[in-house]
A and B are shown apart, each in its own frame.
Chain A
Amino acid sequence: MPDKSLDLLEQLWNDVEPGRAPLVHLVGAGHAVRRRRRRALVVAVAAGSLCVVSAVVLGVNLAQSHDHALSPSDGTGERAGLSPDQAAARVLGSVDEPAVRDVQVIGMPGDPTPSRTWVRTYIKDAAGDTVHGEWLASLVAGAVAELMRTNQSSLDQVIQGGDFVHTGPHGTQVTEQLGMGQAAQEYFDSPSDPDLRDRVDQVAQHFGLTVASVRVLHPLDSALDVRLVVPPGHVSWTMGDLDRELMGSPVDIEGLYVELDSPSGRVLLQAGYQERLAGGGWSGEGDRFGIQHG
């Protein structure tokens, strides 16, 4: 590499002005996080000291609360992936969303190489609501790829891409592509559905919003589909604030769709997040254990 190129990059490195480290804030925030963790630990220890019967009941409840998860991996990264058809059928059944009409794993459009695969999701009545449709299709594509994965280190080694088909404004079928990145296998360990609904209620209350509807979808782990009503008046928070609280810290759901409506029912904003796809930049090699959320 020419010295000139290196010199230039080094100059740019030095030119980035880092600002000052917010040490007081960091230490204060760090202590607050530790206190919260200690409280959680105390609760866990207290619960653990209860009688065996309680423990058995707790175990049953935990098992029930996670029976929607498809246990895509044993946690070692080594696994036998499902066939494309099996994976598509399983996600179609588990996502429990009528708007997802069909899921197919097909050859990559325009590419004759048979091993290059593509996830196509058919969305019902998505005309005028491509944000929600794209969000659903992204959830589906990520879940299908995760189920097909064997020991690959990133999703883009399993599927080359995806798209979704919906009905356009003139009644014609429209195919729109999804972004696809390098995210690795991920485990979210989502809370139970009632806990997630409680979270939505609490967050809505915190932000002064009214819950219009909540759905918990289960592509693999859980995803929240939430519609909230914003009261008239000044809004002092951002969507970033809202989504951070809804996604959990650390993130424990694989997707979030938020629609904010006016009191009259007009849609003010739609936002979709999903965690399995997109350009995570996960290098993968050597990281056989994936990313543990939750």
Chain B
Amino acid sequence: MDTDGGFAAFASAQWARLVRAGVFLGCNREEAQDLAQSTLLRCFVAWRKVERADSPEGYLYRTLLNCYRDSHRRRWWGEQPTQILPETAVPADAVDQLATIDAVHRALDELSQANRQVVVLRYFVELSEHDTAQALGIPAGTVKSRLSRALDQLASSPHLAEGPS
């Protein structure tokens, strides 16, 4: 398969999980879509490396985390001027999405970033222990211990005990 075809198949297969992983890491949906695009763009440019990687998924999610860090490390002070106020009507399904994403964030915001990343990659994206370790650059044993701690913490989370509001 040529590069474009191989990449297109890979990107199509990964897109939904990338966006959801972005949301579970702390983005809103639009940010998560941007994050998925940035991640896939970097993978396209380095497509040979992706194909030859011991674990293409590990490479993909390591790239995702790098892009996530790049986008969230900056802080912003001040205001963004605009001539057109963004006060348009919000469709009902967008409201549902906001509620869903808010529930995700409330449930996961109590975790440390390190534990949150392990939960997202290992549990929700369903990467193997080995691929999760590669993506995070940590030993497999640390993946296990972090996952265990994170799941224990989530189990005692009042947000999850109550369910989404």
A and B pair up: yes
Chain A positions near chain B (C-beta within 8 angstroms): 1-2, 4-5, 8-10, 12-13, 15-23, 25-27, 29-30, 33-34, 37, 131, 134-135, 138, 179, 181-183, 234-235, 238-240, 250-251, 268-275, 277-287, 291
Residues of A within 8 A of B37 (CB): 22, 25-26
How many angstroms between the C-alpha atoms of A268 and B100 in the bound complex? 37
* Top 9 closest pairs, chain A to chain B, by CB: A281-B113, A30-B44, A21-B15, A18-B19, A1-B155, A283-B114, A18-B16, A5-B160, A271-B78
How many angstroms between the C-alpha atoms of A111 and B134 in the bound complex? 38
Query: What's the nearest-Cβ distance from chain A to residue B153, in Å?
Result: 9
Contact call A1/B103, Cβ cutoff below 8 A: no
Residues of A within 8 A of B160 (CB): 4-5, 8-9
Residues of A within 8 A of B15 (CB): 18, 20-21
Chain B positions near chain A (C-beta within 8 angstroms): 4, 7-8, 11-12, 15-16, 18-20, 23-26, 29, 32-33, 36-37, 40-41, 44-45, 66, 68-70, 72-83, 93, 96-97, 100-101, 103-104, 107, 113-114, 116-117, 124, 136-139, 142, 151-152, 154-155, 157, 160-161, 163-164
Residues of A within 8 A of B11 (CB): 21, 23, 26
Residues of A within 8 A of B73 (CB): 181, 183, 275, 278-280
Would A279 and B24 be within 8 Å (CB), given that A9-B154, A12-B100, A179-B75 are in contact? no
Residues of B within 8 A of A15 (CB): 96, 100
Contact call B155/A27, Cβ cutoff below 8 A: no
14 additional contacts (CB under 8 A) given A131-B78, A272-B78: A16-B29, A16-B97, A17-B29, A26-B7, A26-B40, A134-B77, A238-B80, A268-B81, A280-B69, A281-B113, A281-B114, A285-B137, A287-B138, A291-B69
